Amino acid sequence: MNLSAQEAFLKLDLVLPPAPQPLGIYKPFLVDGKYLYLSGHGPVQTDKSLIIGRIGEDMDMEAGKLAARQVGLTMLSTIVTNFGSLDVVKRVIKVLGMVNCSADFERHPYIINGCSELFASVWGHENGIGVRSAVGMGSLPDNIPVEVEAVFELHQ
């Protein structure tokens, strides 16, 4: 029995944070044909606060990976808030994960796995894993540990 993306998410028993509103001059998402582009998202918690800290200084890798998972939940919230369901997405195309970390930190892909594993749990291995980049940054807005942007293919 194949579950829809929305059913798979509900089975995970996770809670979506509120979808963030833009704090600058940009759109949180854009649809172009069959593609949904999500702007960079940070780790919004259910109380609307952000997870703050730099990996390798203020938090360890496991906390960073959980922050990346929270970013994924924030992105899912943007989809559900604006489209009503995760079922509008056919598959993940591209993920760009940015990690706020100390200069000597080198495990960026491990951190971004927190988001990628969530997407794979929702859309399955075939459709939930796309191409990806995971890079380190000297800083991120508001000192968040992780920012992720993504491109999804929509069902037509």
**Over 80: is that where the pLDDT of 136 sits?**
yes
Model confidence pLDDT, tens digit, residues 14-69: 999 999 999 899 999 999 999 999 999 999 999 999 999 999 999 999 999 999 99
Residue 133 has pLDDT above 70, yes or no: yes
> Helices 5-12 and 108-128: crossing angle, nearest 10°?
130
CB crowding 93-122: b at 16 or more within 10 Å, else e: bebbbbbbbeeebebbebbbbbbbbbbbbb
Residue 106, pLDDT > 90, answer yes
Claim: this prediction has a pTM higher than 0.85: yes
